Structure formats: C-alpha cells, structure tokens
Amino acid sequence: MLAHKDEHFSGRSGWLRAAVLGANDGLLSTASIIVGVAAASSATGPVLVAGLAGLVAGALSMAAGEYVSVSSQADSESADLAREARELTRNADSEFEELVGILRTRGMSEATARQAALEMSEHDALGTHAREEIGLSDALAARPLEAAAASAIAFLVGGIPPLIVAAVTPFSGLAIAVSVVALVMLLALGAAGAKLGGAPIGRAAFRVAFWGVIAMAVTYGIGALFGTRL
C-alpha cells in the first residue's frame, strides 16, 4: 500500500515568499518607473531606457538582497544545529529528558513520551531535537541560492509585461495603459499568492492592488512635477 502524503501550505513558505515578493516588486517598481518617467518626458525612448535599467537593476538587487538575508538565516540555523549536536554529545541524558518533557507538554503520558523519545532519538537524535526543541526542519530550512534565484526570476517575470506595454503603446496613452495593465496584474498576483498560500483571496488581492495604485500615483505626480511637461 502506498503511503498517503499531504502537501501543506507551510512547506511552500520559503519559495512562495521570495516568488511573490519578487514578482510584486518587479511589476510595481518597473510600472512605477515607466509611469513616472512618462510623466516627465515627451518621448517613448527615455521611458523604455529607464524601465529596462530599473528592471535589470531591480532583479540583481532582489537576488543579492534575498541571498544575503537567507544566508544569514542559514548561518543561524547551522549554529543552532552545531550547538545542539554538542549538547547531545556532552549531555545526552539531560537532552533526552528535555525531549520527554517537550513531548509531555503536547499531551503524551509519561510512558508514551519516553517510548516516543527513545524511538525518535534512535532514528535521528539531532533531527528530532532540531525539530522538537528549536523548530527546525528540512521543509522550512533556509536555502539562499533557491531564494535568490526565485526572487530574480520572479522580478523579471513581473517587470517585463509593463515594459512590453510601454514599447507597443503610443506615447500619448502610455502611462494609462501601463497603469491599467499593472493594476490587473497586481490583482492577479495577489489572488495567486493567496491561493497558493491558502489565504483569503479577496483581501490579499485588494491589499496588493491598493498599494500598487498608491505607488504609481506618487511616482506619476513626482514625474509631472519635476519633468518637462509641467
């Protein structure tokens, strides 16, 4: 008989966070740059150059930032695991009793907790203490390269559509077209992220779209105020 394996939303948290944030930032920052520069310019060329530069720089920045952040988390996890390994070597008995106590707080009787602690420790003592004592597991482990790649790719995926819209739309309607496309995509992105993460779809989509509208409105206002078309 095949074992039944459930797929839980929490197991997606690492890559989902990086992917959603990357796509949202790519879409919103690129669209905002395009809208702001369009408000300050009188031709499409500068808008496209600014949008492309922002797209490339943003993707690299997201990857670097995510890598550094998640690497710091990974370093902390490695330090905790190393300390736990030393404790298991030096104080095996006290660590075992600590595990029994943790299992008892979760509803097990003394006898059951001791038997479970014994079997779990024999199977994987360090993994058991990492999971039960300090909350670390393979599913939620920090993966810097994975997070960095997801952020960069997602940023590019989110930022390319407004750039394409700007390239094919006449300059007179460029800012409006990019804003509309960005708003629709923000709604879709918020809904997709909520769906994958098991969160309420409507609230997540509205939240993403609301702040997107604010960002584009502010950048447009700055462009119009300081640009050539006052």
| Residue boundaries of the structural domains of the chain | 13-225
Mean pLDDT, to the nearest integer, of 128-148? 67
- Taking the C-alpha atoms of 221, 223, 224 and 230 in order, what is their torsion angle to the nearest 10 degrees? 150
All residues at 6 or more sequence positions from 76 whose CB lies less than 8 Å from its CB, including other chains: none
Kindly report whether the global pTM for this prediction surpasses the value 0.75.
no
pLDDT in tens, 51-103: 999 999 999 988 888 888 877 777 676 676 777 677 766 777 777 777 777 77
**Which pair of tokens denotes residue 184?**
């629709």
DSSP 8-state secondary structure symbol assigned to residue 147: H
**Which pair of tokens denotes residue 56?**
């490339």
The span from the CA of 161 to the CA of 179, in Å, is: 11
Which residue in 196, 193, 216, 214 sits closest to 204, CA to CA? 193
Q: In the chain, how many H helices and how many E strands?
A: 7, 0
For 209-230, letters b (16+ CB in 10 Å) and e give beebeebbeebbeebbeebeee
Mean pLDDT, to the nearest integer, of 169-176? 93
Q: What is the pLDDT of residue 21?
A: 73
- Taking the C-alpha atoms of 24, 30, 36 and 42 in order, what is their torsion angle to the nearest 10 degrees? -150
In the block, tokens 């394996």 appear at 5
pLDDT in tens, 102-131: 777 777 777 787 777 777 776 766 666 666
